[in-house]
Amino acid sequence: MTETAQNGRRRVVITGVGMVTPLGNDSETTWENLVSGKSGAGPITRFDASEYGVRFACELKDFDPTNWMDRKQARRMDRFAQMALSAARMAEADSGISIAEEPDRVGAAVATGIGGLKAFEDCLEVLIERGPDRTSPFSIIQIIPNMAAAWVSMELGTKGPLATETTACAASNMALGDGLDAIRLGRAEVMLCGGTEAPITRVGIAGFSAMRALSQRNDDPERGSRPFDADRDGFVMGEAGAMLVLEELEHARARGAKIYAELLGYGVSSDARHVTEPDPTGLSPARAMQMAFSDAGISPGQIGYVNAHGTSTPLGDPAETRVLKIALGEGNAYRTPVSSTKGATGHTLGAAGAVEAIFTIFAVQRGLLPPTINYETADPTCDLDYIPNEPRPQQTEIGVSNSFGFGGHNACVVFRRWDDAA
């Protein structure tokens, strides 16, 4: 008999995680560097950025995809797909799941905001300089956003539901929501869910810089991303791949899996307002949070930590502060610790939700709340407890993670610390 929550639904737990980020090429290294207050930012090495207005980003360091796939296969994939497959293999190994035993009951949902941007640039360059007949036959399958999910499915052998979310910076949280729904509805027992993004390219940096979305602190890259700080001037571009194994509770228990946390709830909404600017009222994103709380069966007063979207932009951070006050209620908002880990990782766009979901899970599991680094000057429009600069030892049962994307996409996920007696 399948164990259910009080509302009669199948319960979903996290049994494996994997990531490659600007702070490390695995989950533990990333976490240790995060809580040590390190920044992943530095001068761009992916291309010659000497003539660009923005010349720094949060790149992966020493990432070698051939640790997780053969060289021929890696050459057929854009970097965003390489990172997703690497993170998925880590998460699979961490979970101890045997996909081959029941491939039809295992699915995947892998998010990306952009897809194969470098592959697109390379294809266009060959087309212009050498003509259409010299275009690689692998160009399209490197570019299209669904290929990260496709590679994960093909290489790991999943034959259940397969999805790709491309809802900008909210995409990974929506992929987690896809996995949660698939398991609750009985369409799968296990879902590999997460996100990936490789936007540190000529077009990526030039395009976001032209929008004036990026920090200009070329002379001090490590202090460029400074969420909620009064002197913030934009986000720092980051790249990452992160995957989580979502599993129906009884299924996990039957195989003796270790359990990190329970995925309790998920909420989504849309601003229906502007292509880039957040909802100035905060009502639409707050509705996504409140929907997630309702789905999780919790009250705002039970929340012990919020991993904010917190991009370090002039408009976004005060807007999210308003959102938190609406969703939590002002009294709870001032009492609830909030941090943005993008101070350390930069903004990894479509991968951000998955990266930050793992951070939120580790925070509640380990009783250590990660800091908002580079917080130096208080902003009166951002007046909550942002866990400045140092991690905070604090036991908490419930953690929440927000992701908001261009176009008005809002998504929130809720995790509960796992108790074996639960």
Under 8 Å between Cβ of 14 and 263: yes
Under 8 Å between Cβ of 178 and 184: no
Q: From the candidates 347, 382, 409, 412, give the one annotated as an active-site residue.
A: 347
Let me know the angle formed at the C-alpha of 414 by 413 and 416, rounded to the nearest 5 degrees.
Answer: 150
Under 8 Å between Cβ of 310 and 201: no
Q: From the candidates 58, 123, 193, 309, give the one annotated as an active-site residue.
A: 309
For residue 123, indicate whether it is catalytic. Answer: no
- Rounded CA-CA distance 128/120 in Å is 12
For residue 409, indicate whether it is catalytic. Answer: no
Using alpha carbons, select from 168, 54, 46, 191 the residue that is nearest to residue 109: 191
For residue 309, indicate whether it is catalytic. Answer: yes
Judged by DSSP in three states, 313 sits in coil
Integer Rg of the chain from CA: 20
User: How is residue 249 written in tokens?
Assistant: 């509770």
- Rounded CA-CA distance 311/377 in Å is 16
Q: From the candidates 58, 123, 169, 193, give the one annotated as an active-site residue.
A: 169
Instruction: Determine which helix (DSSP H) or strand (DSSP E) holds 108, and give its type and residue range.
Output: strand 106-111
- Rounded CA-CA distance 340/403 in Å is 11
Question: Hey, which residues are catalytic here?
Answer: 169, 309, 347
